[in-house]
Amino acid sequence: MASIDLKKEYRDHYRASVDPEMVDVPERRFLMIDGAGDPNTSAEYADAVAALYPIAYGLRAAIKASTGDAYTVMPLEGLWWADDMATFSVEAKGDWKWTMMICVPPVVTEQLFDEVAPVVIAKKKLVSGHLVRLEGYREGDAAQIMHLGPYATEVPTIERLHTFIEAQGLERSGRHHEIYLTDPRRVAPEKNRTIIRQPVG
């Protein structure tokens, strides 16, 4: 039985420095679900995250059963934006739109997803399961930085990242991207590790 550690295979894009740096992120496949509203209070957000993980683990179990190979389920990620990015603010979480997602290996095909997801959704009674999709996403050129600590203290880290982008003579493009390397349900807020990534053009 082979064990695939996607964090190691995709090492350059699932680790980051506390200093801003440039990366080039190729297309990868993700389980995705869209929504809107404050993630701290929105039932829509809670239902979305609750749907992603069971489907991700269901796909992993199906692959292990058919091939004997296992892979590490990847961390939760989020794309965040507003209709007018000029007004995107951490003080206006109710206006946020988001796509929550989990990266999956190439072995997860559309056919496998179509076979496994409905079974998991029915068995686990996932309220938002029908909204989950499998889709490729390519970020391309981006700047990223590691944020250490609570999500509520991200603003100075984001500002450092934006200053770095401007210093490179680049402009922000695309959606604010966060990768949650630690599970906030299991670690204290001060121990959170979050990669903050911003595509550039």
User: pLDDT (tens digit, 9 = 90+) per residue, 140-160?
Assistant: 999 999 999 999 899 999 999
**What mean pLDDT comes out for the span 54-63?**
96
Q: Is the pLDDT confidence value at 20 over 80? A: yes
**What mean pLDDT comes out for the span 165-185?**
92
Domain boundaries of the chain, sorted by first residue? 3-199
The lowest-confidence range among 15-24, 46-55, 58-67, 91-100 is 91-100
Q: What is the CATH number of domain 3-199?
A: 3.20.80.10
Report which of 188, 191, 185, 177 is spatially closest to residue 28, judged by C-alpha positions: 177
Q: Are 156 and 111 in contact (CB under 8 A)?
A: no
Q: pLDDT at position 105, please?
A: 93
Six-digit token string for 87: 């007004």
Q: Is the pLDDT confidence value at 85 over 70? A: no
Bigger pLDDT: 175 vs 12: 175
Confidence of residue 34 (pLDDT cuts 50, 70, 90): very high
Confidence of residue 91 (pLDDT cuts 50, 70, 90): low
Residues 6+ positions from 33 with CB-CB distance below 8 Å: 48, 51, 52, 99, 100, 101, 128, 131, 132, 133
Q: Which helix (H) or strand (E) holds 179?
A: strand 176-180
pTM of the model: 0.92
* Interatomic CA distance for residues 134 and 153, integer angstroms: 32
